[in-house]
Amino acid sequence: MPVSATPSPNRPVSLALWAAITSLGVFALFTLASARGESVNALWLVTAAVCVYLIGYRFYSRFIAERVLRLDASRRTPAHRRNDGLDYVPTDRYVLFGHHFAAIAGAGPLVGPVLAAQMGYLPATLWLLAGVVFAGAVQDLVVLFISTRRDGRSLGDLIKTEMGAVPGVIAMFGILTIMVILLAVLALVVVKALADSPWGAFTVIATLPIAVLMGVYGRYIRPGRIGELSAIGFVLLIVSIVLGRNVAETPALAALFTFKGETLAFMLIGYGFLSSMLPVWLLLAPRDYLATFLKIGTIVSLALGVLFVMPALQMPAVSRFVDGSGPVFSGSLFPFLFITIACGAVSGFHSLVASGTTPKMIADESQIRFIGYGAMLMESFVAIMALIAAGVLEPGVYFAMNSAPAVIGATPEQAAQTISSWGFAIAPEALTQIAAQVGEKTVLSRTGGAPTLAVGMAKILSNAIGGSAAMAFWYHFAILFEALFILTTIDAGTRVARFMIQDLLGTFAPALRRTRSWSVHLAATALAATGWGYFLYQGVIDPLGGINTLWPLFGIANQMLAAIALTLCTVVLFRMKREAFALVTLAPTLWLAVCTLTAGAEKLFHANPKIGFLAHAARFQEATGKGQILAPAKTMGEMQRVVFNDYVDAALSAVFIALVVSMLIYGAIAIRAALRAETVTTKEVGDELHDLRVARA
């Protein structure tokens, strides 16, 4: 029986309802787009987003589920066929939705939109909405479908069986590079948020003993009481935020917890290396509980805060920086807006989750639509919230926080003057005042998105609870919440990167794969930690703030992975002989390929040294030849290091381009073969009983 929603008993009512939702959505989008000069209430943004999601879910996802994939509720899923009560368990769809959402939503949808806000809120909104409906949610849905029909196998495995061994290895390599860049950029976000912030650094460091305490409690005192130990941890976290203020206000203690970016970078690399070797129950698991619950709680409270406070957007709809001259990230709207916002619109990383634990718990194929497509819409909504948090700040404050010192200077006076000259009038006092309100010495050049989001959230939440006196608390709460789950990602990610390195090396030397040898373990972990650590350190010493260089690389990597996953989806559609519907996945594949290839090529060859790595290297090399030293370098040795780093980044861009192009070629070969074949060639892992029934019928 094909899936179908229960036929509406009242067709005219349903029709009127959808007409109303459509007109409301159109009106909201029109209100957002036509704002010139006057500020728009954030509720219009929420309304537009919700209407688009409802329409996308009701019509497009249903079309994909029923016509393109033909989800079959009578087919037994891996959760039933391989039920073991552990990994493979038929699970209630709402419970599984929560699991899947918690696994896909991390720091990405919170950071990208904040950075993209430099072009105004409108371009970011339009890409978030169009991207999620036609690309992101489609990818999640189709990958989840493909994996569910193949015993919940992983993306790398799926590519290997459907496209061949070579594309399989290429994809594994792509996944590893995105992992490394992801960890580096997330660590950089933490460094930027905690540098010179004794309050923030204290509370984040306090999470270590708190997590260990929780871990011991959950292992020896009351094993398995997740609720209890999370409650204890949560209370201690709040206490540490409150105590953090005293630390910051006591000079001797403040000095102890004031760290430079470089120091923090080395602390994080050491932390990533050591913590990924510890037993998981001690630090990783308990902090994962805190991070997960805090994330869900914070997202819900932010949503409630926006609905309750109804803040106005201060950011213009479209800013002058669509031309690519903006201070937050360099490069014009196309392709860099579509690179900067990955998560929330389309995120390749989700293809790993959708081919991970979730497909093993799907109770009924028809639920794939709700979980795959629905959870991604939810993540997009989180990204909209982040955009709102950035948009409620005065643009002057936003640019002061997100521009590097090399651009706006190091004092509030210089910063206010520069930013006012861009057309975003701001007084130096306003900048010092906001710093005092959030309990920091300065908010200048706190790049990376997290602090901006934190100030925006503090502004919204303090309006709801506590008034301006509570702003500092909410700011540090938001910083802590982001740092907490980024640290969890670093810890878990370093482990995963180690497994990947061992797996990848294992394809060439099988002895390295499933070994318990400590030396292999140690070497692979060290390789993983130095891999992301290298890019982190490079980002920290970058005069343009690092985010400028690293975030586009991360965005390209993430979109590249999405292009790879969508290529697989397209190939599978052709092999299923559903080529009539191939555009559903082919169109987003091609769009992402165009974006990543253009961005990759611009990062390589653009003549502007702010965008092109080679142009930047050439500039420094030329200066070195003349014996000049350019900032940030202070010595000739540093000049050479800048050039070297540029070449590493350029090589990485080239690798991304090569990955995308080779996957497209392999995809085209597989599609040609599928078209020539007379029958369905896809390799589903069958439900034999079902096949028998179909054959008889």
CB of 296 to another protein, least distance (A): 7
CB of 91 to another protein, least distance (A): 7
Q: Under 8 Å CB-to-CB from 281, ≥6 apart: which residues?
A: 215, 218, 219
Are residues 455 and 438 in contact, defined by beta-carbon separation less than 8 angstroms? yes
Peptide bond into 632 cis (omega under 30): yes
- Assign residue 180 a region (left: φ > 0; alpha: ψ between -120 and 50; beta: otherwise): alpha
For another protein, the closer CB: 95 or 694: 95
Beta bridge partners of 41: 312
For another protein, the closer CB: 346 or 460: 346
For another protein, the closer CB: 201 or 595: 595
Residue numbers of the site for another protein (CB under 8 A)?
5-6, 9-10, 17, 83-87, 89, 91-92, 94-96, 98-99, 102-109, 154, 182, 186, 219, 223-224, 226-227, 280-281, 284-285, 288-289, 292-293, 296, 342-343, 347, 349-350, 352-353, 356-357, 361, 485, 488-489, 492-493, 495-496, 499, 554, 558
For another protein, the closer CB: 160 or 606: 160
CB of 57 to another protein, least distance (A): 12
For another protein, the closer CB: 347 or 567: 347
CB of 104 to another protein, least distance (A): 5
CB of 618 to another protein, least distance (A): 32
Are residues 294 and 234 in contact, defined by beta-carbon separation less than 8 angstroms? yes
Give buried/exposed letters for 501-535 (b at 16+ CB in 10 A, else e).
bbbbbeeeeeebeeeeeeebeebbbeebbebbbeb
For another protein, the closer CB: 130 or 226: 226
CB of 55 to another protein, least distance (A): 15
Selection from 508, 669, 531, 469 nearest residue 169 by Cα: 508
Identity of the residue numbered 338: F
Q: Per the structure block, which two tokens stand in for 476?
A: 């540090």
For another protein, the closer CB: 496 or 674: 496
Beta bridge partners of 2: 72
CB of 507 to another protein, least distance (A): 15
For another protein, the closer CB: 230 or 403: 230
For another protein, the closer CB: 352 or 597: 352
For another protein, the closer CB: 184 or 397: 184
Selection from 46, 40, 115, 107 nearest residue 452 by Cα: 115
Residue with tokens 């500020």: 39
Are residues 545 and 329 in contact, defined by beta-carbon separation less than 8 angstroms? no
Q: Per the structure block, which two tokens stand in for 245?
A: 């203020």
Give, as one character, the DSSP assignment of residue 630.
Answer: -
CB of 99 to another protein, least distance (A): 4
The angle at the Cα of 82, spanning 78 to 83, to the nearest 5 degrees, equals 100
Distance CA 653, CA 647 (A): 10
Say how many C-beta atoms besides its own lie within 10 A of residue 394's C-beta. 17
CB of 671 to another protein, least distance (A): 28
Q: Per the structure block, which two tokens stand in for 95?
A: 């419970």
CB of 474 to another protein, least distance (A): 24
CB of 186 to another protein, least distance (A): 7
Distance CA 661, CA 240 (A): 50
Using alpha carbons only, how large is the chain's radius of gyration in Å? 25
For another protein, the closer CB: 162 or 288: 288
CB of 695 to another protein, least distance (A): 28
Q: Per the structure block, which two tokens stand in for 649?
A: 């980044």
Distance CA 422, CA 417 (A): 9
CB of 535 to another protein, least distance (A): 15
Cα torsion through 645, 649, 654, 656, rounded to 10: 150
Selection from 639, 525, 669, 550 nearest residue 603 by Cα: 550
For another protein, the closer CB: 488 or 645: 488
CB of 185 to another protein, least distance (A): 9
Selection from 205, 158, 178, 444 nearest residue 327 by Cα: 444
CB of 336 to another protein, least distance (A): 17
Residue with tokens 């699991």: 99
For another protein, the closer CB: 219 or 320: 219
For another protein, the closer CB: 289 or 321: 289
**DSSP assignment string, 539-606:** HHH-TT-SHHHHHHHHHHHHHHHHHHHHHHHHHHHHHTT-GGGTHHHHHHHHHHHHHHHHHHHHHHH-
Three-class SS state of 394:
coil
CB of 674 to another protein, least distance (A): 29
159 — phi, psi (to 5°)? -65, -40
Are residues 636 and 628 in contact, defined by beta-carbon separation less than 8 angstroms? no
For another protein, the closer CB: 319 or 549: 549
For another protein, the closer CB: 13 or 694: 13
Q: Per the structure block, which two tokens stand in for 239?
A: 């206490």
